[in-house]
Structure 1
């Protein structure tokens, strides 16, 4: 073999340019990048250096040959043409990783099998000795890639992926791979900052991956210095003396680096469960003197308040996967921007995000952006210089003025704290300001009505401005926001930008804690989707209405447990219930039942198919001291009505538009089935009784035949309070009695 070997370095997508620069510095010649890889040539010393020192590569592959292949038999012969006795013993073990297809190779398993057979047949001895297969710790790991009729056959020198440094045995829910974290730090300029003696801080450090990678760079520690098992360890071409020399040099560099005064590298994590795993990772990396992790919330983040040192703030905020995450993530990014402006003046910052539009909400202009991939998720690295002229705030000139110096107790001593910069809230966009103005106008009008009537929960805004298609409801000191799904004709990016504008405006317009804003998306609900649990927070709060107490849950379900538009109907039922037997069909959380009981109903019966909501109904009744004389029945309403023989003086029906629950036979459709439903219910209505029927299907038409059998009066307008008069189609309601 020649002194130079063809080499291929694989990497995560998006790291190719950085990897080419790194590999060239480590000795690769004639290098060129391709998707998720770099190829070139290098000596065995270069190959070893790449294995030991590459912070960015996944694997270092030594190419054994490239062969034209047009069928499975040609692939077999190409592999067998290699002199495998130069690489492994007949008694050794191997593993084959195959990628690509074509030339009669339909799947990777078949391709890997043909490669394995060719190697085994090549090394089989007269005595019957042959290599075995070991997928986990083979003597030799072979890579075979078939692309455009060419087979590239390589030896994996790394063994297992180089991003697995060995220090991170414990990790959080969505960790960054170590080589991606290293690439982010390099793009953010950390090697330069570290060389200048700068500091580094991560306010959301998780288990400390950024911190450890930064510490290894600053202390000149080879990322794979502590790895013991390599892909070349049992390769017959391995040169142990050369490897030992390079490894010894790396150990000496690490010892010299760690002997220097440590840089200030600190991480803060709000989740107490991640603190010890993070510290364990730091200790395994040998960086306990360099890297410290503390428990701390972003809201109190100050990277180094006791000294005038600057450096780099780097973080990977959560991406958000649950219902309502848009609001919490927006406010997290706004809070991050506020902390940077307030406590990190003259620092640099790097934010790695899967939602770059949220980065625009931080109140600081990004001077550079880089595209990366975190697995299959496209991400961006946003770079900032935390300087007043980069702030996007209401009054930049005010933001640039330092606050008075403050003293603070640190380590038992009174230390003068450097003056901070006053930070104004991030400026709202023009549309966001218009939205805020509308909220404040509505609050001025509806707030007076709500205080006068003693209403705690009401709708403040309901798509008043078509471009901001939201419903904003106040639940005491919480805000519940529902985003109406935009039509397909609307650009999703524009719709998302408007949503973020509105979410940014809400806390400012209502003087509300951002942590008390919950966002959900309201789409057409099909089947039982409206009853499905959306989250698992289990956070119930008590609200008051008409002298009763009710439980609502703003986070876990699409609906909160209280239909605000039915407030007038519930209060009407309370006034009319005295001494009557009350029947509540499709009772949901039985809020109307609680009102009937409050009004003095002789008895109540509430029917619903959902056990979850009947349990909620039971809690609502118990909260108000109602437990006896109030029956909760689980079942399909139609079937229940057919079997029931009771009589009721007051009946309330608020059915879903559509339902196909697994617990019921067939499908319920309000337009198709309402005549049968109402006939069954009216058969249970006592002489002189009243039935109230309502639904929110906007295209609903009451069957005219019902008016021939019963006295029917539409009362929709009478059942709308001031917070819903702007949307008269929110529901329709009828009062029905026997003729």
Structure 2
């Protein structure tokens, strides 16, 4: 018999070598597959054991087919009655084309007509077509003036192994995963008892394929259904004997397996999905999956292993710019496994990753030794492999940043600021503070410290500054902050704060999910320095939060535009009778809920409301004794009314006054540097400008960081 094993483009040579390894000596690589001939048992073996083949087709006929009539006549000569039983359903799939046969559906229809007419003439009956779940599938391929009609012995594609019960976002196809493992040299590493690590494991495909490959587990051993099962020539005894052999090989292989696999992912849903799939693959004792961001991966013990992953690369999951730090962290973690040339005699570590963007591979700051082109679906990608030895990576080990004379001036200013702030920080037990705010013109950035982590916000450089100069200065900032404050690079978040137009001040910047807990005034709060423009805790509002705590006892407290509700937590800590926190963002209300839970303030007396503030105020009938309102400068959310704090603050404050209880107080804050309170329009209120008292000592250089007013009825 003549067979054709299909595969993804770029895997043909690998698949040919694999089939030769099965004893199929005449395997010949072709476009998108490998041709071979032999007995049916060899096709069975290819389907059960191949890690790379997508389908295995049995060639029924090849003939000239220059037009539709020739295609019909050639197909009608095929003895289909030898392949289908009367009750068997079927489907035809058209492929390719030529000058006269241009539509694959038309090609399939002509072959279907030929099959039906042939069986009606031979048996006096018409078989049923089932395009969704046929018993047998046939392929009609037109290439030039040739037609090839084949029976698909596989049924569904062979990448469907039978273990995947749950899939994450953009799952890696199993056949491609196996190809990546082969190209990365995993079989040899596994044979030496090496470990396998996937830092972005998703639903666990690479982990499972790696251990099956190392343990000699046939990849289709778990699958229950194949296309050949309804074929008249199916040899059930031969197939069962082959499955029994594969089961015994898997038992022995796993019993003797020394290699282990470790998967990590920051997404808890992906981790749960991977764990589920690992259990269904029967590999619970060989694979460990944990929730962990790549920045915090532990270094595993062992002198040999492979770090291989399929990180997000933009086209499906994230934007390019936000991915660069992820790839840098991948490179940082891989360098932790670097070994000297004298150690490699006992084995060494390798790393590899697949991406569609060479710039992302370069961002790892690792030197690759080989690059292999692949298709991931329709996306052109490449696998980059890295030898983790000092010799291989010598030229790519990051060099220390060469600091300019101006940078040393920044270092001196940072030291001076730290010395000046230290006594008061210690006395007032402040652990989150601003240590530098564009003190020097050449280093225009704000630097905030969050209990052992740093948040650097570079103010957008003017167009007169060369981009290379701005980038160098930013690197110098990071280097000196790391050195002077003893903060690891991975705990320094660096952002550029551009001039904002009418957009949300809470715009998402990344998706690292790297939260940490900090303290202020004996209370705990979750912050995220990496994923958002703002961190979840406005440091310049520290005195305002203390003021609310001071005023809140026994009060009905309302927090409008509440963000992560840190002020509401301070109100609760001050003894507020109730707190109500209103914001349009579900994300920030969930964050607020976690802040309440961290401080054990839970229950119906602490209410979180998802709503547009202006519409909510118009409908609210309850009264509040203390109202805190801190609106954004601009907002044009599609779910809310357009808002401009300068234009709309009078209407906003009047709406607040409508629900203010007798003797109540409004604390009004905003960070519009050019803001002017309309005293005339608010002449019916008693207004006190408390801006100067509300600015903390570490923000003293910037008296326009925000404006704050205490407002009550006259």
Give TM class, smaller chain.
0.5 to 0.7
User: Contact conserved, 2:510 with 2:531, CA < 8 A, in 1?
Assistant: yes
Q: 1:653 aligns with which of 621, 629, 642?
A: 629
| Mapped partners of 1:152, 1:510: distance in 2 | 71
| Mapped partners of 1:433, 1:136: distance in 2 | 71
Deviations 1:153-207 (A, max 9, x none): 43223333334456x466775765443233223323456668xx64432134855
Which deviates more, 583-592 or 678-687? 678-687
Deviations 1:487-506 (A, max 9, x none): 99x99999999999999998
Q: Secondary structure at the match of 2:157?
A: coil
User: Contact conserved, 1:338 with 1:362, CA < 8 A, in 2?
Assistant: no
Q: 1:69 to 1:673 in 2, by over 3 A?
A: farther
Q: CA deviation at 1:124?
A: 1.9
User: Contact conserved, 1:608 with 1:635, CA < 8 A, in 2?
Assistant: yes
Deviations 1:529-552 (A, max 9, x none): 94999989897845214xx63533
**Which residue in 2 is equivalent to 1:385?**
387
Q: Secondary structure at the match of 2:373?
A: strand
User: Contact conserved, 1:507 with 1:514, CA < 8 A, in 2?
Assistant: yes
Is residue 15 from structure 1 mapped to residue 11 from structure 2 by the alignment? yes
Q: 2:335 aligns with which of 334, 337, 346?
A: 337
**Which residue in 2 is equivalent to 1:670?**
645
**Which residue in 2 is equivalent to 1:445?**
417
The TM-score normalised by the length of structure 1 is 0.66
| Mapped partners of 1:580, 1:107: distance in 2 | 74
User: Contact conserved, 1:91 with 1:130, CA < 8 A, in 2?
Assistant: no
Q: CA deviation at 1:210?
A: 0.8
Q: 1:147 to 1:428 in 2, by over 3 A?
A: farther
**Which residue in 2 is equivalent to 1:267?**
261
| Mapped partners of 1:447, 1:295: distance in 2 | 45
| Mapped partners of 1:314, 1:500: distance in 2 | 28
| Mapped partners of 1:536, 1:714: distance in 2 | 40
| Mapped partners of 1:192, 1:19: distance in 2 | 18
5 Å matches for 1:71-82? 79-80=75-76, 82=78
5 Å matches for 1:509-528? 510-512=485-487
**Which residue in 1 is equivalent to 2:561?**
586
**Which residue in 1 is equivalent to 2:268?**
none
| Mapped partners of 2:654, 2:121: distance in 1 | 88
Is residue 562 from structure 1 mapped to residue 537 from structure 2 by the alignment? yes
**Which residue in 1 is equivalent to 2:368?**
366
| Mapped partners of 1:621, 1:224: distance in 2 | 48
Q: CA deviation at 1:313?
A: 2.4
**Which residue in 1 is equivalent to 2:89?**
93
**Which residue in 2 is equivalent to 1:352?**
353
Q: 1:169 to 1:250 in 2, by over 3 A?
A: same
| Mapped partners of 1:432, 1:68: distance in 2 | 74
Q: 1:105 to 1:671 in 2, by over 3 A?
A: farther
**Which residue in 2 is equivalent to 1:407?**
none
5 Å matches for 1:482-501? none
**Which residue in 1 is equivalent to 2:450?**
475
User: Contact conserved, 1:94 with 1:133, CA < 8 A, in 2?
Assistant: yes
| Mapped partners of 2:160, 2:688: distance in 1 | 72
Q: Secondary structure at the match of 2:53?
A: coil
**Which residue in 2 is equivalent to 1:549?**
523
Is residue 142 from structure 1 mapped to residue 129 from structure 2 by the alignment? no
Q: 1:38 aligns with which of 33, 38, 42?
A: 33
| Mapped partners of 1:88, 1:467: distance in 2 | 80
| Mapped partners of 2:695, 2:65: distance in 1 | 77
Deviations 1:35-82 (A, max 9, x none): xx13656566776675466442212334534665777x8876665464
Q: 1:182 aligns with which of 165, 178, 181?
A: 178
| Mapped partners of 2:472, 2:546: distance in 1 | 39
Q: 1:251 to 1:625 in 2, by over 3 A?
A: closer
| Mapped partners of 1:499, 1:384: distance in 2 | 29
Which deviates more, 103-112 or 362-371? 103-112
Unpaired runs of at least 5, structure 1:
305-310, 397-425
User: Contact conserved, 1:580 with 1:648, CA < 8 A, in 2?
Assistant: yes
| Mapped partners of 1:227, 1:617: distance in 2 | 45
Q: Secondary structure at the match of 1:339?
A: coil
Deviations 1:297-356 (A, max 9, x none): 95251236xxxxxx6525326549699987677545523431354997742514234487
Which deviates more, 134-143 or 646-655? 646-655
Q: CA deviation at 1:449?
A: 1.8
Q: CA deviation at 1:654?
A: 1.7
Q: CA deviation at 1:566?
A: 2.7
Aligned residues: 675
User: Contact conserved, 1:439 with 1:460, CA < 8 A, in 2?
Assistant: no
| Mapped partners of 1:651, 1:341: distance in 2 | 61
Which deviates more, 499-508 or 200-209? 499-508
Is residue 315 from structure 1 mapped to residue 280 from structure 2 by the alignment? no
